Amino acid sequence: MTAEPYRSFNAHLRERFGCRVDRVAVDGGFTCPNLDGTKGVGGCRFCDVAGSLAPYGQPGLPVAEQVALGIQRLSRRAKRQKFIVYFQSFTATYAPPERLRALCKEALKADERIVGLAVGARPDCLGEPILEALEAFHRQTYLWIDVGLETTNDQTLERINRQAATADFIESMRRVKARALRVCAHVIFGLPGDSPADMLGSIDLVNGLGLDGVKIHNLYIDSRSPFGLQWKRGQLQLMDREAYIDLVCRALARLRPDVLVHRLTGEAPRRWHLAPDWARNKQELLGAIRAELARRGAFQGCEWKGSEGAQ
């Protein structure tokens, strides 16, 4: 066992690039097939009106200007650092390949400190022409595809208006990994109707599909999301802090040892965060997760069985 109880993505970036690396979130002007009527309307119930863009994002500005403004803000944190441009809002792969290529090229040229790209995607928006375009950037820079899995429970996916099934995720991930592209799966713990077995099943699927990274976060309520109204009406019950910490520790214990952990917490921007209150302090929550891992003598992969979750 190493000194760290799990493979932190931030630590990995420091090792790879020799300094702090921050992600600069930008809006590429994309939409989503779950908004424009292609698959559905209204979007996923957890998604806010900005498509989960970071609060400092500046939709409408050219990507190069958004990058410059983001770097100006983030560079106050450290003197020596590099950056990954993250096309975060909505579905960046829901666009003609030539448009995505042009935006990625613009992002890479925006600043000499840019060392990579991250592209937000839905599993049903990863057709071969898009994958061909992403593979070209994979060959020239450090590229991640961030794909929403959310849960493996199809009934939950229907309940939250996801308009995509687990089978869609599995099929798209097989094609993505056939090109050896890096993938980070997004998983939400605490979705209404999900059991602990469902949540841990998402980790098993990440293991079995050979994915490279995972983002786990608690369900939080953004006042601008459809869930915001449900929560205000008392129609939504959230997981408590202790249950979340327990599930994260169990998830890490069964997660493949080589998977990079991109995040373990989630919260809306401060002015729009409704609940849970315990998610507001990210560092305190991460500290509590580490303390519980230490108390259990657990660490990433300590319960991984090698073939569990294989598809």
Q: What digits encode the pLDDT tens for the residues 112-127?
A: 999 999 999 999 999 9
The answer to whether residue 93 sits within a structural domain is: yes
The answer to whether residue 241 sits within a structural domain is: yes
The answer to whether residue 1 sits within a structural domain is: no
Distance separating alpha carbons of residues 160 and 167, to the nearest angstrom:
17
The answer to whether residue 303 sits within a structural domain is: no
Q: Which residues pair with 148 in a beta bridge?
A: 186
The answer to whether residue 306 sits within a structural domain is: no
Given a contact cutoff of 8 angstroms between Cβ atoms, the answer to whether 117 and 123 are in contact is: no
Distance separating alpha carbons of residues 192 and 238, to the nearest angstrom:
8
Domain that holds residue 266: 9-296
Distance separating alpha carbons of residues 290 and 245, to the nearest angstrom:
9
Distance separating alpha carbons of residues 173 and 178, to the nearest angstrom:
8
Which residues, in sequence order, are CB contacts of 299 under 8 Å at separation 6+? 1, 2, 5, 6, 252, 253, 293
Residue closest to 307 by CA, chosen among 164, 207, 224: 207
Given a contact cutoff of 8 angstroms between Cβ atoms, the answer to whether 112 and 81 are in contact is: no
Instruction: State the CB neighbour count (10 A cutoff) for residue 113.
Output: 16
Domain at 274, CATH number:
3.20.20.70
The reported pLDDT for the residue numbered 309 is: 46
Task: Give, in order, the Cα–Cα distances in Å from 81 to each of 55, 115, 286.
Answer: 21, 10, 23
Split at pLDDT 50, 70, 90, the class of 43 is confident
Rounded to the nearest integer, the mean pLDDT of the chain is 92
Given a contact cutoff of 8 angstroms between Cβ atoms, the answer to whether 292 and 247 are in contact is: no
The reported pLDDT for the residue numbered 310 is: 47
The structural domain count of the chain equals 1
The answer to whether residue 4 sits within a structural domain is: no
Rounded-to-10 torsion of CA 246, 248, 251, 257? -130
The answer to whether residue 167 sits within a structural domain is: yes
* Tens digits of residue pLDDT in 202-243: 999 999 999 999 999 999 999 999 999 999 999 999 999 999
The answer to whether residue 233 sits within a structural domain is: yes
Instruction: State the CB neighbour count (10 A cutoff) for residue 1.
Output: 11
Burial (Cβ within 10 Å: 0-12, 13-18, ≥19) of residue 310: exposed
pLDDT at 268 over 80: yes
Only one residue has tokens 């493949």, namely: 256
Distance separating alpha carbons of residues 4 and 299, to the nearest angstrom:
8
